[in-house]
């Protein structure tokens, strides 16, 4: 069993840096966060995140423009979610999913809920158990559960079979 993935911790809102970061710092932060679950590659196409990707997310409206060339907690939270689900969903789908999450809760609550669910899904799926959602399933929660589960299922297949 891959202990790196089972020990993966999504930083909660209050664990994100309290200072705004420049683009290079954001890329380094995200690469460090995901280094144990997404193997780093030499070519930009397979990287978790690049400066160009972040600029494209801003250009497509998925990410708000930086303030004085600096990125805040909201930017980081959105980028973390994007990095995780972009292997399964298109950028337009991601934008719609983020909007749905923010319609039902604020950024801090939505982000923390995503973090908790992702860790639960990873734990369940990598231990070959069913991923169970503990709360009453509204339509939005059911969608979130399925997003997290689809991402984790893909990660499981990649880590246990495709990238052996």
> Around Cβ 110, how many Cβ atoms within 10 Å?
21
Q: 74 Cβ partners below 8 Å, 6+ apart? A: 64, 107
The whole-model pTM stands at 0.89
By the 8 A CB rule, do 27 and 54 touch?
Answer: yes
In terms of phi and psi (left: phi > 0; alpha: psi -120 to 50; beta: otherwise), the region of 106 is beta
Cα 114 off chain centre by: 8
Q: Which token pair is 18? A: 């309290």
Residue spans of the domains in the chain: they are 3-162
In tens, the pLDDT along 47-97 reads: 789 999 999 999 999 999 999 999 999 999 999 999 999 989 999 999 999
């Amino acid at each position: 069993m891959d202990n790196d993935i089972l020990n993966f911790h999504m930083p909660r809102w209050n664990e994100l840096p309290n200072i705004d970061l420049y683009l290079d710092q954001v890329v380094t932060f995200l690469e460090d966060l995901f280094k144990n679950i997404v193997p780093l590659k030499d070519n930009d196409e397979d990287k978790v995140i690049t400066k160009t990707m972040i600029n494209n997310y801003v250009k497509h409206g998925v990410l708000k423009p930086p303030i004085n060339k600096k990125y805040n907690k909201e930017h980081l939270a959105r980028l973390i979610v994007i990095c995780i689900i972009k292997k399964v969903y298109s950028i337009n789908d991601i934008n719609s999913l983020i909007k749905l999450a923010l319609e039902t809760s604020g950024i801090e609550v939505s982000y923390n809920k995503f973090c908790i669910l992702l860790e639960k899904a990873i734990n369940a799926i990598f231990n070959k158990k069913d991923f169970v959602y503990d709360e009453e399933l509204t339509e939005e929660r059911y969608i979130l559960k399925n997003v997290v589960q689809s991402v984790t299922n893909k990660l499981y297949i990649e880590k246990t079979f495709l990238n052996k």
